[in-house]
Each structure stands twice: as C-alpha cells, then as structure tokens.
Chain A
Amino acid sequence: MNNNKEEQLNNVLYSMKGAPKAKPPTQLFTKIEQELASQSKVIQLKQLSIVAAALVGLLILNLWTIQALQQNRQLSTQKQSNNPNISLMSNYKIYQ
C-alpha cells in the first residue's frame, strides 16, 4: 500500500519529466514585431516631447531674463530722475 502510494506520489512529482513541449501560437512573432514597431514610435514621441520641453524651458528663461533686464533699466532711470542732488555741474562759477 505504502509502496503504491510512494510510487503514485513520484508519478505526480515527475509527471512533467520528458513531457512534450507546448507550441507557441503561430501569430506570436507578428505580435512581437508590431509591439516593437509601436514602441519605437513611442520612443520618438518621447524624445520629441523632451526636446519640446527643453525649448519651452529655454524660452521661459529668455523671457524672464529680458523682463529682469528691463526692470533693472527702468529702476536705474527712475533713480536718476528722482534724485534732485544729481547734476552734471556742481560749480557754475567757471571764470573765478
């Protein structure tokens, strides 16, 4: 009885040993090729979006710099016009 049980246990444990292999579906390679083709498109789109993001970043940086420069200029001209003490000549008695 025990030997029989042991044999049956072994039959289950080694039931796949030397068993024939299952065949993959015939259309699987076509599917893989399609997947690869779609992935290369995705990569291109990804690269494009990275380039676009970099360009937008550069544009924003440029605009910010121009704005900052303009503000700086305005401030310096305002300072100059608001300051009454500044004059080109401090002594008008030239011929003394």
Chain B
Amino acid sequence: MNVNAEELLSRIAAEDRQAFQQFYQLFAEKVFNTALSYTQNLQDAEEVTQDVFTSIYQAAANFKAKAAVNTWVYRITVNKSINFIKKKKRLTLFQLNYTQKEQTDFEHPALILENKENAKLLFQFIESLANKQKTAFILSFVEDLPRQEVANIMGISLKAVESLLQRAKKNLRSKLEKSYPNRRI
C-alpha cells in the first residue's frame, strides 16, 4: 500500500486530481477516525479531515520518502487535531459551558450499544490527558497501531511511547476509580 501511496503522492504533486481522490479513499477513514478521537465531535472531525487533505494536496511535493506515507499522514492528522482543539478552546473561551457539555456527551458513531457506555466514559477521561499521553493512547488503543509506528509518528523512542502509555493508563485508571461510586463500572 505504501509504494502505491508514494506514487500517488508524486502524482498529486503534479496536480493530478484523480490521484488525489485515490489517496483520499486510502486514508480518509484513518484521518477521520483519528480526528474524531481528538475532537469528539463529528463536525469538528470533518473540518480537521478537510484541513488535513488540503495540506496534503499542497505539501505533496515536500514529502520525503524517509518516513512511510502512513506515518506522515498520521503525523499531519495529530498535529492538525491538536491545533484545532487549541484554536477552538481559544475561540470558545467565553462559551465554556457549551463546549464542556458538547464534549462529555460524545458517543462514537460506529460502536455497538454494548460498548457505547464504556467508550463514552473512556472518551470523557481521555479528554483530560496531557497531549502526548493522549496521542500515545489514541494511536495505540483507539487506532490500534503498532507501538513502533506510534513512536515514528510521535518522533520519539519506543521506550518513551511505553512510558507515556503507562502514565496515560495510570491517570485514566485513577480517574475511572474516582468515578466508581457514581457509575456502574
């Protein structure tokens, strides 16, 4: 898939719209789902996905084969998602109640009823993690990526990813335990 994607990227650099559509079909689901895990809002995830593919189209010529295309696309998505959240927080500083309510009500659209409650709880607490822990957790346990790829995307060592995941899980556990008396976990 990567060879194909690289070839598509070089065609996109030459402004080939058909190649761009093929590239979109290859990566749209990954980009959209990653953005959804960060923004926890369908419209925002759509906006981030749009931004990611616009950037890919414009930066296709700058892609260096040193990294895998998959890693490059995920890296752009993570950065765009984090920047989007920062920007949104700045913009809605005076409408704090609105954003908080919107985020805690998030339900992943693809989940079956059985997992929905657990995932809702998980996303509520993922939100409170520091950015690096959040990225390591989302890429590993939501996107199901191998640890080495997570390390490549984040530009850190495998050991650092493991340590981030341990801290993320510890933080999530303590938050879930605190909410234990009030919830049926």
Contact = CB atoms under 8 A, between A and B. Distances in A.
B36 interface: yes
B49 interface: yes
Nearest to A31: B50
Nearest to B185: A8
A14 interface: yes
A8 B177 CA distance: 10
Chain B interface, DSSP helix/strand/loop, else mixed: helix
A13 to B, nearest CB: 6
A39 B53 CA distance: 13
B185 A24 contact: no
A17 to B, nearest CB: 6
A33 B144 CA distance: 30
Interface of A: 5, 8-9, 11-25, 28-29, 31-33, 35-36, 39
Interface of B: 17, 21, 24, 28-29, 31-33, 36-37, 46, 49-50, 53-54, 57-58, 108-112, 115, 118-119, 121-122, 141-142, 144, 169, 172-173, 176-177, 180, 185
